[in-house]
Amino acid sequence: MTRVYLSVGSNEGDRLECLRRAVAALREMAGVDFLDASPLYLTEPWERQPGAIGEDQGWFFNCAVCIDTELSPMDLLERLQAVEAALGRVRAGGTPEDQRYRARPLDIDILLYGTEVISASERLHVPHLLMHERAFVLRPLADLAPEAEHPILYQTVAEILEGLDDEHQVHRSDLPSRWFL
């Protein structure tokens, strides 16, 4: 089994219900042992420039999830994308950059897959290419695994977060820390 950390977020529809259903799907997924989820954070969406896709989108609920899995990284990605689709995510055309800034009912990203570094295709890069730049990823991840080490930067999540230069607002939700139960 490999320890894997995921980022899970929603900014469209009933965000809390969508995240609860996503965690429930992870708990039932064959080949996956769900271990924990961070508290929820209310996070400002990333915007590129005025008029960009997503300029007026709502704020996200974000969390980090810890699982152990026997699935390969690509098999896990395919199952996570099936959960996204089942919960209403539609992957529209356009570049990966365009997709990154669209509102969505659910987004699940693989942040860390053990200590592996993977660039298998356009679809999968581990560690997640932008995790070290984003407070909405690092703050929830630090709740679960502050000592987890980024396998390229050789810094812990806590160290990366401490040096982070991200001015987007990230607020811990007042929902109970076990919001997913």
Is 104 a known active-site residue? yes
Contact 117, 73 (CB under 8 A): no
pLDDT in the model for residue 50: 41
Q: Is the pLDDT of residue 25 over 80?
A: yes
Catalytic residue, from 79, 109, 134, 139: name it: 109
DSSP lists the bridge partners of residue 170 as 43
Contact 40, 175 (CB under 8 A): yes
**Cα 33 to Cα 69: distance, rounded to the nearest angstrom:** 6
Catalytic residue, from 15, 79, 104, 134: name it: 104
- E-strand stretches of 11-135: 32-37, 41-43, 60-69, 107-113, 118-121, 124-126
DSSP lists the bridge partners of residue 125 as 119
pLDDT in the model for residue 45: 85
Contact 179, 40 (CB under 8 A): yes
Q: Is the pLDDT of residue 16 over 80?
A: yes
Q: Is the pLDDT of residue 142 over 70?
A: yes
Is 107 a known active-site residue? yes
Span 50-62, pLDDT tens digits? 444 444 568 899 9
Neighbours of 123 (CB within 10 A): 10
Catalytic residue, from 15, 21, 79, 89: name it: 89
What is the helix (H) or strand (E) element at residue 2, kind and residue range? strand 2-10
**Cα 74 to Cα 88: distance, rounded to the nearest angstrom:** 21
The two tokens of residue 130 are: 């932008």
99-112 average pLDDT score:
78
The two tokens of residue 158 are: 């806590």
Neighbours of 148 (CB within 10 A): 21
* pTM exceeds 0.75, yes or no: yes
Is 123 a known active-site residue? no
Domains observed in the chain? 2-172 (3.30.70.560)
